[in-house]
Chain A
Amino acid sequence: MHDMSRLTTGISGLDQILAGGFIAGASYIIQGQPGAGKTILSNQIAFSHLRDGGKVLYVTLLAESHERLFQALDVLDFFDRSKLGNDITYVSVFQTLRDEGLDAVVKLLRRETKRQGATLLVFDGLLNARDRAETDFDVKTFVAEIQGQAAFVGCSVLFLTSSSVKEISPEHTMVDGVVELTDTLAGVRSVRQIQIRKSRGSKAIGGLHEFEISDGGITVYPRLEALADPAIAALEPATGRVGSGLAELDALLGGGIPRGSVTLIAGPTGGGKTTLGLHFLSQSSADEPGLHFGFFETPHRLYAKARSLGIALPASGSPELTLHWTSLSDNILDKLGDQLLGQVQKLGIKRLFIDGFGGFERAAHHRPRLIEFFASLVDRLRALSVTTLATWEIRELVGTDVTAPARDLSAILDNMILLRQVEEDHRLVRSISVQKVRDGNFDSAAHLIEFAEGGLAIGASLHHELASPSVDPIDG
């Protein structure tokens, strides 16, 4: 249902955090340092508004020429030169402001809004208007007059400013909402974030949300844990078990992996985590499509690995198995979550192998939120009845001092499988043990594993106990 009282931004993530978009006829400040993305954001909203049948008046006060602006926008997909001068008009009021002052600008904009039949007014350069005002009262009057006359004809207003408008600033008190864009450094990488600082009459999702600028314009990725998902509360837990691809492991688990559960496979590098995942994915079928969501092996290398182990995967490109590879370079945590859930929903995935959670951890520049993020991700996967295996790499290559990763992370996962490597008589011995199975009995004894023809071979139970304090994967 289309809500007539909303002006959607056309940026789905932004509409989400604005609880449906801007309020039509209301006015907003969009603030941020030069280069933060204000101009791209407002033009993207403007062109989306044109597609919705609206008309836009874009007013500048700045010295940058409109042609320079158009050249910068030309590389972006949403920009359409054929709309210029017809549905969207760019005018400069610099001279009017300089020669005649704020009152004359207000008057000119009233006439232009009416003449163009504008339903969205973008005013780029509130800071310059501020410079021209003699008192705070003048600024307040200016903003009040612009938004008052716009609201009178049902026109929404975006005021762009590169100054940081404080909560006590007169402009701040006048407008219905404030959107702030920031571009900061987290270590050596640049992080773009958007925040709804004020949102009158609308329940916006607060806090910082990351966004990126690409050829498609701005994409906003709301914090996953901040988004409500009504499907989760209504969830009926899936029942039954699914095969892991290894009969011996199914036996240890007490009859396979609980359907719709999330299993963590913890272990050192080379311990067999990915191989276990390949066994699991080898059981993908038309009824249970599989997805490999990984950060390490490219699809090409995964197939090569499966071939060398003698594990038969469904053919590359078949609807039964999809391999989604993301490199470890500058990722956005919520973008990864969005891509993962998007693929699962689009392809109706029932068997998911995430290799591994470490790829998400590395993307998080604010690590304290990881547990909440994973909890939210896991809840959504359960709600979609996806049986999930996810890997967690333990630092120690060889050792006995490992059982469960962080208690916080363990608590949100249903099942846990631990892979270990110990040295005995100068020989590396690998083992597997089930640490936890949701609502089920399982065999907790550690068993020997070996890489053999056809993949992993699970052997006899180990006779001796291995000492095992826990390791924290988030802080460890």
Chain B
Amino acid sequence: MALILVADDEYFLAVMLADMLEDEGHEVQTAPNGQAALALMREARPALLITDFMMPIMTGLELAEAMHADAALADIPIILVSGAQGGIAREKPELFQAVFDKPYQRDGLLAEVERMLNGKG
């Protein structure tokens, strides 16, 4: 069991993903944008961040850059799930450890989560 943070402005997608992860025994927090996610992870450091790209106030890319620049958060692994910006994210492997294109397969994403949490990422 680990704390996982999910950032997505699309509420139902965030809730669905959170439910899936909770079913696997994890504790999950959700945030509707990058800034809110940053605030949450400074309060309670998650083992993993799963973030959307296109979000209001702070995008997934800006969030990843802010984490990268913050020594306290720089080593939290990040999975990006995106409809259209997967390509941009794949060009930045230093920021994103994995990229999934929406719509993604549940099993594939969950396997990647387990792989990262078990330190094989």
User: Which chain A residues have a beta carbon within 8 Å of chain B's beta carbons?
Assistant: 63, 65-67, 70, 81-82, 84-85, 89-96, 98, 108, 111-112, 115
Asked whether A96 and B83 contact (CB < 8 A) given A63-B12, A91-B54, the answer is no
B104 CB to closest chain A CB (Å) equals: 10
B103 within 8 A of A: yes
Q: Are the C-beta atoms of B54 and A95 separated by less than 8 Å?
A: no
Per the bound structure, the CA–CA distance linking A66 and B54 in Å amounts to 10
Is the beta-carbon distance between B56 and A93 smaller than 8 angstroms? yes
Chain A residues, CB < 8 A from B56: 91, 93, 108, 111-112
Contacts of B13 in A (CB 8 A): 65
CA–CA, A35 and B12, complex, Å: 22
Known: A65-B10, A65-B12, A70-B84. A85 touches B57 (CB 8 A): no
The contact of A67 among B55, B57, B102, by CB within 8 Å, is B102
How long is the Cα–Cα vector from A251 to B54 in the complex, in angstroms?
75
Q: Which residues of A contact B88 (CB under 8 A)?
A: 85
Q: Give the chain A neighbours of B14 by CB distance below 8 A.
A: 95
B residues in contact with A81, CB < 8 Å: 84
30 A-B pairs, CB-CB below 8 angstroms? A65-B10, A65-B12, A65-B13, A65-B102, A66-B10, A66-B54, A67-B102, A81-B84, A84-B54, A84-B85, A85-B53, A85-B59, A85-B85, A85-B88, A89-B54, A90-B54, A91-B55, A91-B56, A92-B10, A92-B32, A93-B9, A95-B11, A95-B32, A98-B11, A108-B56, A108-B57, A111-B56, A111-B57, A112-B56, A112-B57
- Chain B: which residue is nearest A80 at the CB level? B84
Which residues from chain B contact A98 at a C-beta distance below 8 Å? Answer: 11
Name the residue on B nearest A109 (C-beta).
Answer: B56
0/1 per residue, B34-62, Cβ < 8 Å to A? 00000000000000000001111101000
The interface bits of chain B over 10-33 (1 if a CB of A lies within 8 angstroms of the residue's CB, else 0) are 111110000000000000000010
Given A66-B54, A111-B57: A95 touches B84 (CB 8 Å cut-off): no
Beta-carbon nearest neighbor of A82 in chain B: B84
Q: How far does the alpha carbon of A149 sit from the alpha carbon of B31 in the complex, in Å? A: 26
* A92 lies within 8 A of B9 (CB): yes
Q: Residues of B contacting A91 with CB < 8 Å?
A: 9, 54-56
Count how many chain B residues have C-beta atoms less than 8 Å from C-beta atoms of the other chain: 19
With contacts A91-B9, A94-B10 known, what are 4 further pairs, Cβ within 8 A?
A: A65-B12, A66-B10, A70-B84, A82-B84
Contact A95 B9, beta carbon cutoff 8 Å: yes
Q: How far is it, in angstroms, between the C-alpha of A114 and the C-alpha of B54 when the chains are bound?
A: 16
CA distance A63 to B53 in the complex (A): 18
A94 to B, closest residue via Cβ:
B11
Chain B residues whose CB sits within 8 angstroms of the CB of A82 once the complex forms? 84
Binding site for A on B (CB under 8 A): 9-14, 32, 53-57, 59, 83-85, 88, 102-103
Query: B22: shortest Cβ distance to chain A, in Å?
Result: 18
The answer to whether B54 touches A85, judged by C-beta atoms less than 8 angstroms apart, is yes
Q: How far is the CB of A64 from chain B (nearest CB, A)?
A: 9
Cα distance, A96 to B30, chains bound together (Å): 13
* Chain B residue at minimal CB-CB distance from A57: B56
Which residue of chain B is the closest to A63 with respect to CB atoms?
A: B12
Residue among B53, B59, B83, B88 with max Cβ neighbours from chain A (10 Å): B83
| Nearest residue, chain B, Cβ from A81 | B84
Query: Cα distance A111–B55 when bound, in Å?
Result: 13
Min C-beta distance of B44 to chain A, whole Å: 19
Q: How far is the CB of B6 from chain A (nearest CB, A)?
A: 12
Contact B103 A67 (CB under 8 A): yes
Inter-chain CA distance A16–B22, complex, in Å, is: 55
User: A92 and B84 in contact (CB under 8 A), knowing A67-B102, A84-B54, A111-B57?
Assistant: no
Taking the closest CB of chain A, its distance from the CB of B3, in whole angstroms, is 20
Q: Taking the nearest CB of chain A, how far is it from the CB of B13, in angstroms?
A: 6
Cβ contacts under 8 Å, B83 to chain A: 66-67, 70, 84
A-B residue pairs, 10 tightest by C-beta: A84-B84, A91-B56, A67-B102, A95-B32, A67-B83, A92-B9, A95-B11, A94-B11, A92-B10, A85-B85
Q: Name the residue on B nearest A58 (C-beta).
A: B54
Q: Kindly provide the distance from the CB of B43 to the nearest chain A CB, expressed in whole angstroms.
A: 17
Query: For the complex, what is the distance from the CA of A63 to the CA of B14, rounded to whole Å?
Result: 12
A382 to B10 Cα, complex, angstroms: 57
A66–B102 CA distance with the chains assembled, in angstroms: 10
Query: What residues of B have a CB within 8 angstroms of the CB of A70 in the complex?
Result: 83-84
Residues of B contacting A112 in the complex (Cβ-Cβ under 8 angstroms): 56-57
